[in-house]
Amino acid sequence: MDATVITSASEQDQEARWSGHQRRRAIHGYKAHVGAGADTAIVEWVSVTLGNAHDGRSGEGALPDKPSTVFAGSAYRGQLFAAAVRIRGGVPHVVQTSIWAHEDDRTAVRRLRYWNNSIHLVRCRIEKIFGTWKRSYWLRCMRWRGLAKTALQVCLTPMAYNLKRTAAIMRLASS
pLDDT in tens, the chain (175 residues): 889 999 999 999 999 999 887 788 899 999 999 989 888 999 999 999 999 988 888 877 778 788 888 998 888 888 888 998 999 999 999 988 877 777 777 788 888 888 889 888 888 888 999 999 999 998 999 999 999 999 999 999 999 999 999 999 999 999 8
- The predicted structure's pLDDT at residue 151: 94
Model confidence over 73-96: pLDDT tens digits?
888 888 888 998 999 999 999 988
CA 171, distance to chain mean position in Å, is 27
β-pair type (43-50, 91-94): unpaired
pTM recorded for the entire structure: 0.83
Q: Burial of 162 by CB count in 10 Å (0-12 exposed, 13-18 middle, 19+ buried)?
A: middle
- The predicted structure's pLDDT at residue 43: 94
Nearest partner of 108 among 100, 97, 119, judged by Cα: 100
